[in-house]
Structure 1
Amino acid sequence: MAKKKQKRKNKTGLIPGSMVYTGQKENQELFIEVFDYTPEHYTEESYYKIEDTFGYKATDTVTWITINGLNHVEAIEKLGVHYGIHPLILEDIVNISQRPKIDEFDDYLYVVLKLLYLNEKDNTVISEQINFLLGHNYVLTMHESDLDIFEGVKDRIRNTKGRVRDMGADYLLYILMDTLVDHYVNVVDVLGDTIEDFENDVLDGTITEDASKTILNLKREVLRARRTVLPSKEVVSRIEHNDHKLIGKGTLTFYKDIYDHLVQVSENIDVYREMVSNLMDMYMTTISNKMNEVMKVLTIMASIFIPLTFIAGVYGMNFNYIPELQYRNGYFIVLGLMAVIFIGMILYFKRKKWL
C-alpha cells in the first residue's frame, strides 16, 4: 500500500518556543466547542474566535474547551498568553510529531497522547496527536481536525450519565484519556484478528503470492501501534503516582484503571509482534516445503526415465550387429521390459512412501 510522502517543515535555527505547525491540514477551519457544567446544569457553545473562550477561565464551573485546528498558530498563541502556558508547551502543541508525554507545572499539566484508528480502505493504522491541558476547573483539548471520538463524553455531560457532572476537571481528563485507550483496544483487536486469520491461511496453504508484502505491512502496523501504546503507558503511570494538586486522590484510582488497560494492550501487541515475526518463518517454510514437493516429483520422474532412456539409447545406436535387433519380436520385448521397469520402480517408490 503506497504512502504519500509528507513534506517536513524545517525548524532548524529557530529560537526555542517558536511555534511552527508541522502538520498537513493547512486549510482546516478553526472551530471551538465549549462545555461548561456543574452538577445541576450545563451549557454548550460553539465559537470561531479564540477570544470568545477567555471568559471561562475565572469561573467556578468545570469547563471543557475543544479546539479544532492546530494550523491556527496565532489563535493558539493568544490562548497560551491568556492561560499562562509556557512558550515551549505552545511549540509542542502545534508540532504534531510529539511522543506521548506529560509535563508538569504549578498551575497546569500538559499531556500529549495519540489517537489511533484504522483506515477504512486498507486497515492501516493512522495516528493523530491530541493535546490535553489540565488546569484549575478546566480542560483544554487541542487537535488538528474535528473528531467524533469524544461524542460519548459529550452525551454523558448533556444527559448527566455517570459521575462526570459531579466530579472535577481531573475526572474529565480521565474519561477523555480513557476514550483514547478504548480506541487502542479496538485497533489492536482488529490487528490481532487480521494476524490470526492470515496465520490460519498460511497453515492451510491458501496464501497468495504477495503474502510476504502482507506480512511486512502487518509488522509495520503493529510497530506503529506499539510506538503509541508504550509511551502512553508511561504517561498514565506518572499520573497515577503523581501528587500534583490538580489531581485529587479519589481520581487516581480511575487512572490506575487506564494503566491496567494499557498494560493489557501492550501485552497483546507484544504477542502479535511475535506472531508476525513467526509468520514470515512459517511462510518461508511453506514455500520451501512446496518447492521440496516439486523437486521430489521431478526427481522421481527422472529416476524412472533414466533406465528407460538407457535401454532406448542402447537399442537406438546405429550398429549393424546388435544381437537383439534380429529378433522378430524384439521391439515388443524391449517395450515390455520398459513397462516392467516402470511399474517396478513405481511400486518401489510407493513402498518407500516417496509417493
Structure 2
Amino acid sequence: MIAPATRSKKTGFPPGSLVHIGKKKTQITTIKVIEYNEEAFEEREAKTVEECFGKKAKTVKWINIDGIHDIGVIEKIGKHFDMHPLMLEDILNTEQRPKIEYYDGHIFIVLKTLEYYDIYGELKVEQISLIVGPDFVITFMERESTIFDSVKARLRSGKGRIRKHGSDYLAYTLLDAIVDNYFVILEKLGDKIEDLEENLIKNPTAKTLNKIQGLKKDMIFLRRSLWPLREVIKAFEREEVPLIKKATKIYLKDVYDHTIQVIDTVETYRDLVSGMLDIYLSSISNRMNEVMKTLTIISTIFIPLTFLAGIYGMNFRYMPELEWKNGYLLFWIIILVVLVIMVKYFKRQKWI
C-alpha cells in the first residue's frame, strides 16, 4: 500500500509524468546487456545508457536494469525503444498491481516477486517490470537479485532451447524463473511452519504467537502476489499477439500450471497457519484450565482441614477433646486420614 506522503508526489501531474514512487533500494543503477543467438553469446555491463542501444543483426538482446530510481536512465531507454509514457510511469511506480498490457510493438508486464533479504528471514516484496519487443526483452528491477541467475547460466552454456528461440521464449523463461522462485519461498516457509508446529506443541509462548502472526502476514503477501500473477500468465498465453509464437504458448501453459500449484500450496499453508493460531489459543486455554484445576483441588482438600482447625481454634471454655492426653496427636491423625481419603477419591475420579 502506498503511503499518503508517497502518493502526494504525483498530485497535480498529468498522466505519463515520470516520478519515482517507492523506496530507493540501491545507490547505483546498473545496466547489464546480453546478446545471443544459436551460435554466439555476449554479456557485458554498460557504463552508459547509450552503450546498451547498439544491436547485432539476427540476435536477441536482453537488457537488465537494476535500480529504477534514476529517472534519466529510464527516460532515455524509453525514448530509444519508443515506449509509451504510461509504461515508463508504471515502471517507476513500485506499488503497481501485477498486470499485462499490450502496446504497438511491445508487451508490458508488471510482476511481484518475494525474497528473503535480511538475517531475520523477513519476506520482502520486489517489483519486476518486463518489456517484450520483437527481438529484445528489457527487465527493470528495484535492486540486484539472483532470481534470473539460472536463466543467465542457461544462456551462457547454450544448453537447451533458449538460444534457439526469440524474445518471446526468453520472456517465458523469465516468467518461469519468477514462478520457480515462489517454490523456493514456499520451501522456506514450510520449514518455518514445521519448526513452529513443534514449538507450539512443546512450549507455546508469546513469541510463538508473534511468529504465527508473522507467517500470516507472509501468506497475505503471497496471495496478493500470486492471484494477479495467475491472471497475467493466463492472459499472456491466451492473447493472440504477433510477438508470441504458438510454440511458446505451449510452455506458457506449463508456467500457468506451476502457478496454480503454488497457489494451492499457499492456500494449504494458510489453512495450517490459521489452524496453528487456534491450537495456540486452545493450548493457552488448556494451560490456564490446568492451573485453575490444580488450585481448585488444593482449595477443596483444605476445606475440611480448615473446618477442623477452625473448630478447635474457637475460644470455648469447655471442650472435652482439649483435656485428652493424646488429643493433639489424634487431631493430626484425623487430618491425615481426611487428606488421604480425599486424594484417593480425586484419583479415582481421574481429577488428578
When the two structures are superposed, what TM-score results if normalisation uses the length of structure 2?
A: 0.95
| Post-superposition CA distance 1:7-66 (Å, at most 9, x none) | 73521221111111123227622221111111111222221221222223x843111111
Paired with 1:280 and 1:156, the residues of 2 have a C-alpha distance of 43
Paired with 2:81 and 2:351, the residues of 1 have a C-alpha distance of 80
Match 1:298 to one of 291, 295, 320? 295
SS of the counterpart of 2:53?
A: helix
Q: Which moved more, 1:21-30 or 1:299-308?
A: 21-30
Contact 1:34 1:66 in 2 (8 A): yes
Q: How does 1:27-42 map to 2 (within 5 A)?
A: 28-42=27-41
SS of the counterpart of 1:55?
A: coil
Partner of 2:18: 19
Partner of 1:288: 285
Q: How does 1:315-326 map to 2 (within 5 A)?
A: 315-326=312-323
CA distance 1:26–1:282, shift in 2 (3 Å): closer
Q: Which moved more, 1:171-180 or 1:322-331?
A: 322-331
Partner of 2:159: 161
Match 2:196 to one of 198, 210, 215? 198
Paired with 1:27 and 1:193, the residues of 2 have a C-alpha distance of 30
Partner of 2:304: 307
SS of the counterpart of 1:176?
A: helix
Q: How far apart are residue 348 of structure 1 and its match?
A: 0.5
CA distance 1:269–1:55, shift in 2 (3 Å): same
In structure 1, give the amino acid aligned to 2:279: M
Paired with 1:307 and 1:26, the residues of 2 have a C-alpha distance of 72
1:79 has 2:83 as partner: no
| Post-superposition CA distance 1:292-331 (Å, at most 9, x none) | 1111111111111110111011001111112221212111
Contact 2:49 2:73 in 1 (8 A): yes
Paired with 1:317 and 1:256, the residues of 2 have a C-alpha distance of 90
Aligned-pair identity (%): 43
Match 1:126 to one of 120, 124, 127? 124
| Post-superposition CA distance 1:253-300 (Å, at most 9, x none) | 111111111101101111111111111111010011111111111111
Partner of 1:101: 99
In structure 2, give the amino acid aligned to 1:191: L
Partner of 1:117: 115
Partner of 1:136: 134
Partner of 2:173: 175
SS of the counterpart of 1:210?
A: helix
SS of the counterpart of 2:160?
A: coil
Gaps of 5+ in 2: none
Contact 1:68 1:144 in 2 (8 A): yes
Aligned length: 349
Contact 1:125 1:225 in 2 (8 A): no
Partner of 2:68: 70
Contact 1:68 1:143 in 2 (8 A): yes
Partner of 1:55: 54
Contact 1:42 1:158 in 2 (8 A): yes
SS of the counterpart of 1:8?
A: helix
1:267 has 2:264 as partner: yes
CA distance 1:27–1:333, shift in 2 (3 Å): closer
Contact 1:93 1:142 in 2 (8 A): yes
In structure 2, give the amino acid aligned to 1:60: K
Contact 1:67 1:143 in 2 (8 A): yes
Contact 1:31 1:68 in 2 (8 A): yes
Contact 1:205 1:286 in 2 (8 A): no
Paired with 1:26 and 1:125, the residues of 2 have a C-alpha distance of 15
Contact 1:100 1:111 in 2 (8 A): yes
Contact 2:36 2:163 in 1 (8 A): yes
Contact 1:188 1:225 in 2 (8 A): no
In structure 2, give the amino acid aligned to 1:162: G
